Amino acid sequence: SGVVLGQRTGTTQLVTAMNKAPYLPTTRAPIDINLSWLFRQINPDSLECSFAIDRETAKTPSRNKQIEEALDFIRNLQRWSSGCLGYFQHKVKRELFHSQMEESPADWLVKINAKNVFVPIIPLFQEYDRGNTVETTENSHQGNESSGLLSLPVPSPGSPLLPRKDTAAFLEEQCRSLKGVLLEVDRILPDPNDQAQLISRYEGKLVLLSSHILDLTAAWYAGITYVEAMLRSQLIQAIGKEVQPSDFCDFIKFHNQRTFGKAYSPKSFCHAVRQPNQYPDGVVSIIRGSSLKDPIETFSRRIPRDSLVAPISIPLNASTTVDFAGDQYLHGWLETHFASNSRCLPSRSLLNISARARQFSCFMLMTGSISGPNEFTPKDAIIIQ
């Protein structure tokens, strides 16, 4: 069961050139929103707003569990407000009054907006004298009238947030400007008790409040983005440069050289192709992009041919199989990138196989998959010469 905050019934007459009803009876899908998150931010005992970020687990001002939950709610609130505006300002006019030549109340709804309503959301910080930041109990109760049913929290000592009286002044200005626009809506739209009118002040106020909610959510998101950008700018200034995924890869390379022993540290994937006791016929490497000087680094294990249990079988066709009895290598590669680039990896992660043969030499390069303990299934092959 739910609580009905408001409802009304209205009618209107449509004049058409047809000898039948222009519209069939229909019921619109509800435009609803879950307000559970919003009410969870209110202390049920003191009726005080209690939103806070867990600084122990937060990564940045916007990358933390609390802000992500708030962002999900804000997005749902935006969709709800946009749905209300779209229905009353566009669907009602298009579906019910599209054939009416004279101006109708539906046209008045289109003109309603909240541009003259003050938006009290702004990322504003203030530096205090730490010796004068504690508000007395008497002063902490001042300014509560503008907060309506809820009380405003008192900033903790040393907090850069605005004092309680300033926050109350922001909310008072919002209420004052909102009341002024609501009076204008009352002036131009019919009384909601008049059931002979399909559009009334009730729908007009709903449109106004939906428009104002969109302004509030946009300001909230802009504020979170601004604080995040401010912290990011300070971090870049402290470091002296903007850290790129390539810088992180270079750090991992340096870290691996210090962490692992020489025999186990990652090495560049650049291997000579040769027959036993012969001069190399060529070189095979895996590189990033097109730079031959930037091969990837892999953890490698060499299995000498003398230690092989069985050679690797390579089927060329249904009746031909080639056995590979040379040294075998097992490689492991770990790529690192930023979480924000998980869906669009940097161009540095685009890998290419580079194969080069020496003069008067040639060899065959095959790519494929391991299909069994001692079987390699080729997919592509090329002769390098």
pLDDT digits (tens, 9 = 90+) for 195-243: 888 888 999 999 999 999 999 999 999 999 999 999 989 999 998 988 8
Q: Which of the residue ranges 19-28, 132-141, 242-251, 333-342 would you say has the lowest mean pLDDT?
A: 132-141
Q: How far apart are CA 64 and CA 110, in angstroms?
A: 39
Q: DSSP label at 90?
A: I
Q: Which residues pair with 287 in a beta bridge?
A: 295, 352
Q: Is 240 left (phi over 0), alpha (psi -120 to 50) or beta?
A: left
Q: Which residues contact 298 (CB under 8 A, 6 or more apart)?
A: 266, 267, 269, 331, 332, 333
- List helix spans (H) across the chain: 36-40, 65-86, 92-96, 105-111, 137-140, 164-188, 201-239, 245-259
Q: Which of the residue ranges 143-157, 223-237, 277-291 would you say has the lowest mean pLDDT?
A: 143-157
As to burial, measured by CB atoms within 10 angstroms (0-12 exposed, 13-18 middle, 19+ buried), residue 177 is middle
pLDDT, one tens digit per residue, over 299-340 is 988 888 888 888 889 988 888 888 888 888 889 988 777 766
Please compute the mean of the pLDDT values over residues 157-164 and round it to a whole number. Answer: 79
Q: Which residues pair with 114 in a beta bridge?
A: none
Q: Which of the residue ranges 46-60, 67-81, 144-158, 180-194 would you say has the lowest mean pLDDT?
A: 144-158
Nearest alpha-carbon partner for 348 in 286, 262, 289? 289
Q: How far apart are CA 210 and CA 84, in angstroms?
A: 7
Helix (H, G, I), strand (E, B) or coil at 198: coil
